[in-house]
Amino acid sequence: MKRIALLGSTGSIGTQTLDVIRLHPERFRITALAAGRNVDLVRKQIEEFSPEIVSVHTKEDARTLQAEYGGRIRIVWGHEGLIEIAGSSCDFLMNAVSGSMGLEPTLRAIENRVDIGIANKETLVTAGHLVMEKAKEHGVRLLPVDSEHSAIAQCLEGNSLKEVSRLILTASGGSFRDYSRSDLDGVSVEDALNHPNWSMGAKITIDSATMMNKGFEVIEAHWLFGIPYERIDVLLHKESIIHSLVEYQDTSVIAQLGLPDMRVPIQYAMTYPERLDYPAKESLNLWEIGALHFQPPDFERYRSLRLAYDAGRAGGSMGAVLNAANEQAVAMFLDGKCAFLEIETAVEEALSRHQRIEHPDLDTILRADRETREHVQTLIT
């Protein structure tokens, strides 16, 4: 029985993680849940999964829940609460919060020596060097949940990293894949939230529309697999059937395919290296799909993708700035405070103003994150 702590239990990846646990009650048990503000849903999750410890965002909500559940469950709150859940007694941590708030809980779980299902890619964009160093030091595995990275990990199974010539990440193109650059002027929040292939949280749906998500995934792949940026490519593939590919030295290319359903990579991360039944969905029928399409990315059209490659290559504190600027600008776009194209302008401006710091430690990263958010607020308002 694997004891699971889940951060972001009320979100898109969090609720799908609980779906996987429902499919295999003999294999998994929830010991800890962390949610944000959705107290109604976390209450239902407490009733169904009986965790030992639960975290919510505000102190008030924590008090309410503590009064309801008395001594049966320990209720904690805030950022400290998230970190406490990450350090709680368990065998596996699923980190499915959105944004750089996932960084410190990831580091805490590594110290706790539990394997981590890393959906929270912002952790790696912000401080991949700290996370990978610490994971190596404590012998902790970071198991990819992102469908592309799960695909790459599967394509690498049984092969040597030394023989890899390229990683190829596929990209659906997001909500505006058929728009020209000028069509993007004045697009609405509602349009941006309408992803053609995947149903996801709001922030990552906007990141998919700007292609910053793919840029983040390039950085995520760099840290997870230790491959230099010049050997990580992006390929537009609108059907989201090939989840990613690995090319080897002999020009042989291995791909991983499947219907778009995040529960498959979530389950694989939780059971790795084993595979379990997945009875919830039909098999992939390529004859029904008929044709798959591919295109190279246009770095002028998708400027965020170029910004992410540049920040990744520059390294140091640039990843933290890239992520924080993007988080702040996306939050402001979702709040109706800026236009869609201002997201990338703000990120570009934040990166160009930042004095890059080599080998930043955690405090330096957290300061860069905070200062960048403040800077972007002044840029936009």
Q: Which residues bind ligand NDP (CB under 6 A)?
A: 8-14, 34-38, 57, 82, 96-98, 101, 119-122, 146, 198, 200-204, 262
34 vs 167 by CB, closer to ligand NDP: 34
Name residues contacting Mg ion, limited to 54-93 (CB under 5 A).
none
Shorter beta-carbon distance to ligand NDP: residue 200 or 324: 200
Residue with tokens 């699923």: 94
Minimum CB separation of residue 322 from Mg ion in Å reads 17
If contact means CB under 5 to 8 A according to the sort of partner, which of Mg ion, ligand NDP, none does residue 37 touch?
A: ligand NDP
Q: How far is the CB of 304 from ligand NDP (least distance, A)?
A: 14
Q: What is the DSSP string of 95-112?
A: E---SGGGHHHHHHHHHT
Shortest separation between residue 119's beta carbon and ligand NDP, angstroms: 3
Binds 105: which of Mg ion, ligand NDP, none (CB < 5-8 Å by kind): none
Residues making up the binding site for NADPH: 10-13, 36-38, 120, 122, 201
Find out whether 229 and 218 touch, Cβ atoms under 8 Å.
Answer: yes
Provide the token pair at 93: 């941590």
CB of 163 to Mg ion, least distance (A): 25
C-beta of 10 vs 12, nearer to Mg ion: 12
From the list Mg ion, ligand NDP, none, partner contacted by residue 88 (C-beta under 5 to 8 A by kind): none
The span of 138-146, 164-172, 275-283, 334-342 binding Mg ion (CB under 5 A) equals: 138-146
Residue (of 47, 31, 35, 29) closest to 10 by Cα position: 35
Distance of CA 324 to the CA centre of its chain: 14
Asked if omega into 196 is within 30° of 0 (cis), the reply is no
Q: Angle, nearest 10°, between helix axes 121-138 and 212-225?
A: 10
**Which residues are documented as binding site?**
10-13, 36-38, 120-122, 146-148, 172, 195, 201, 208, 213-214, 217
Q: Which is nearer to Mg ion, 104 or 146 (CB)?
A: 146
Write down the least CB distance from residue 217 to ligand NDP, Å.
9
Q: How far is the CB of 262 from Mg ion (least distance, A)?
A: 9
Beta-strand pair 115-118/2-7: unpaired
Stretch that binds Mg ion, among 21-29, 140-148, 264-272, 327-335 (CB under 5 A): 140-148
Closest alpha carbon to 262 in 8, 2, 5, 1 = 8
Cα angle value 272/273/276 (rounded, 5°): 70
What does the alpha-carbon distance between residue 84 and residue 77 come to, in Å, rounded to a whole number? 9
Looking at the chain, list the stretches that DSSP marks H as alpha helix, in order from N- to C-terminal side.
12-23, 39-49, 59-69, 78-86, 103-111, 121-138, 147-156, 189-192, 202-210, 212-225, 263-271, 286-289, 303-314, 318-334, 340-353, 362-380
Chain residue whose CB lies nearest ligand NDP: 11
Q: Which of 84, 122, 146, 369 binds Mg ion (CB under 5 A)?
A: 146
**Looking at the DSSP assignment, which residues form a beta bridge with residue 141?**
none
Closer residue to Mg ion (CB): 146 or 369: 146
Stretch that binds Mg ion, among 139-147, 181-189, 244-252, 263-271 (CB under 5 A): 139-147
Q: Return the number of the residue (104 or 148) whose C-beta is nearest Mg ion.
A: 148
Kindly determine how many residues on this chain lie close enough to bind Mg ion according to the rule CB under 5 A: 2
Strands 242-248, 164-171: parallel, antiparallel or unpaired by DSSP? antiparallel
Cβ proximity to ligand NDP, 78 vs 165, nearer residue = 78
Task: Please state the residue numbers annotated as binding site for 1-deoxy-D-xylulose 5-phosphate.
Answer: 121, 147-148, 172, 195, 208, 213-214, 217
CB of 13 or CB of 379, closer to ligand NDP = 13
Which DSSP string corresponds to 132-146? HHHHHHHT--EEE-S
Q: At what angle do helices 103-111 and 121-138 cross, to 10 degrees?
A: 20
Interacting residues toward Mg ion by CB under 5 A? 146, 148
